[in-house]
Structure 1
């Protein structure tokens, strides 16, 4: 229920859709209720300008990306039990259609995990991720497993969890497989903007995680003043950040995370 509700609610409140619905409603109301039509048109145009062209999207995503800082340690030191790779980098539809693993702009999650796997030869490699689609379907866990094997990772080091649909299920389902102890340390690999929510969830279920943020979407705080090259890019960045901020609040209210805004 939580999964379905989160998908439906976010569809209606994500900024790009709010802008579209406001412009559509404003245009329709102009014929009979021009005062309200103008108000809705102003809301829609305001979102497009502030978050599509001006750097509103960067202002939303930067606190998320900077929460754990830029990655300064090439390889975590000390005993590492395993490297947990969160799904989201796979292009599921293209992978299934083409028969080979296809990746999206979050591909650094995969490439950095592979680099860590070679640098930490005794650590397990755990991939967790099914399909996050509201309309069902399966993920592409087996092509991910085969990618690691083809890259030289021993099959007995690889653990696959293929049923989770969101980050909370990532943590719960992998815990059932791995049964982590308090002395274990797990490198958590995910996109920098997604790291605060991920860390809070994994801590909540009992993991001792070492955050390893990748896939940064900004260069740093200098992008707080940088407009976007296209409105589509700005709105996409805004939707990305809004999903995380809403997710942080929703998971905190439902008791699924260790803090409202988890940090180091």
Structure 2
């Protein structure tokens, strides 16, 4: 139930979706005989989309998340790396019978480099299926296995959690999959904007990981006053940031993390 509710909430709270629905509501109001209210709603939707798409608002929301956790020290060598899912499109992969990467693929390419840097480190990949209903026919863990083996990583180093569908489950099932080895030093590899929520969940699960953020979506503080490179890019940024902030607050209210913005 929580998984379904989170998907629905994520759709409704995405600014681009919300503004589009306001615009459609304006069309419906105008058609129903309230042209003034309809025009106001449509104008508000157009203005809101323009601000979201062209302004640096998305960067303002992403920067506090991306800057929150600096990368951990490379020494001493870690016992293992935990890599969170989100890098595969399981729907396309299941339909096409091939590995289909998503926008967060840097989580995987970073691990390929880290696996060579620390040849003794175990690699724990956590990710199931993102399907809201039914089954995509493949999990992210299965796709990750194929990809890591193609990178030349020995299967004896790999641990997989194929059950997780959200960050809470990532933390709980990763702790379970790591077993006694979780007492060693583990680095958590995920997108920088997602790191605060992920670290908070792992702490709550009793798995004291250290942050290794990747997949940055801003250049840094200099983006705070830079307009978006394109309308679509601006909408993607603000939707991503809004989803993460809503997720943080929801997880805090539900007790999955101990603070609305976990600290390093």
TM-score by length of 1: 0.92
Q: 1:98 corresponds to which residue?
A: 96
> Secondary structure of the equivalent of 1:179?
helix
In 2: Cα distance, 1:136 partner to 1:250 partner: 25
> Secondary structure of the equivalent of 1:80?
coil
**Distance change >3 Å, CA 115–CA 262, structure 1 → 2:** same
Task: State the shift of 1:135 in Å.
Answer: 1.7
Q: 1:113 corresponds to which residue?
A: 111
> Secondary structure of the equivalent of 2:124?
strand
Q: 2:234 corresponds to which residue?
A: 234
Q: Deviations over 1:68-119 (max 9, x none)?
A: 14x4x6x721252210000111122332333332212211100111111111
Q: 1:33 corresponds to which residue?
A: 34
Q: 1:66 corresponds to which residue?
A: 67
Residue 12 of structure 2 corresponds to residue 12 of structure 1: yes
Equivalent residue for 1:134, pick from 132, 155, 159: 132
Q: 1:43 corresponds to which residue?
A: 44
Q: 2:82 corresponds to which residue?
A: 84
What are the within-5 Å matches in structure 2 for residues 213-252 of structure 1?
Answer: 213-252=213-252
* Runs of 4+ residues deviating >4 angstroms: none
Farther off after superposition, 19-28 or 224-233:
224-233
> Secondary structure of the equivalent of 2:177?
helix
Q: 1:152 corresponds to which residue?
A: 152
Do the aligned partners of 1:130 and 1:163 also contact (CA within 8 Å) in 2? yes
**Distance change >3 Å, CA 182–CA 123, structure 1 → 2:** closer
In 2: Cα distance, 1:225 partner to 1:231 partner: 16
In 1: Cα distance, 2:10 partner to 2:210 partner: 29
In 1: Cα distance, 2:182 partner to 2:122 partner: 17
Q: Gaps spanning 5+ residues in structure 1: where?
A: none
Do the aligned partners of 1:180 and 1:207 also contact (CA within 8 Å) in 2? no
> Secondary structure of the equivalent of 2:257?
coil
Do the aligned partners of 1:96 and 1:140 also contact (CA within 8 Å) in 2? no
Task: State the shift of 1:2 in Å.
Answer: 1.2
In 2: Cα distance, 1:255 partner to 1:217 partner: 28
Farther off after superposition, 178-187 or 115-124:
178-187
Query: What is the CA RMSD across the aligned residues, in angstroms?
Result: 1.8
TM-score by length of 2: 0.92
What count of residue pairs does the alignment treat as equivalent? 261
In 2: Cα distance, 1:247 partner to 1:180 partner: 30
> Secondary structure of the equivalent of 2:128?
coil
Q: Deviations over 1:195-244 (max 9, x none)?
A: 01000000110111110000001111111222223322211111100110
Q: 2:23 corresponds to which residue?
A: 23
Q: 2:54 corresponds to which residue?
A: 53
